[in-house]
Amino acid sequence: MEERKFYGNAAEQLVAEHLERHGYRVRDRNVHCRFGELDIVAERGLVLAFVEVRMRSSALWGEPSESVMRAKQRKVITAATEYCQRHRLFERVIRFDVASVLGRGRSGAVDYLEDAFEAGF
């Protein structure tokens, strides 16, 4: 479990750096609430992106982004709603993105999917 957490943290760091290179400001990471966890919350202008980070060491079992099923999407949406209410972020464009990291640690390759899923309301 320690090894998994280590590589997971490295993947999130890789994605945070990717976002910053593309003009985003990472607002929060690993935000826990009663509905789940938000991996990365980033902003650029009026856009507030809730980023789900997924990592796999190889594509043998498919792309990491394919593992973000509807149940996980609902948890992220609910947690993001709570986050926006808690921080009074009412005038923002909300977006749900998925970052796939293929490989382990700092050598992973980031594939970033903007608007990967919608809230449905």
Residues 4-40 have pLDDT tens digits of: 788 788 899 999 999 999 999 999 999 998 888 999 9
How far apart, in whole angstroms, are the C-alpha atoms of residue 103 and residue 93? 31
Nearest to 26 by CA among 75, 121, 86, 99: 99
DSSP state of 106: G
Question: Rounded to two decimals, what is the model's pTM?
Answer: 0.91
Nearest to 111 by CA among 59, 70, 44, 36: 59
| Widest pairwise Cα distance in the chain | 42
Give me the sign of the Cα torsion angle 17, 7, 33, 111.
Answer: positive
The answer, yes or no, to whether residue 52 has pLDDT greater than 60, is: yes
Q: Going from the N-terminus, what domains does the chain have, and what CATH number goes with each?
A: 2-117 (3.40.1350.10)
pLDDT at 60: 64
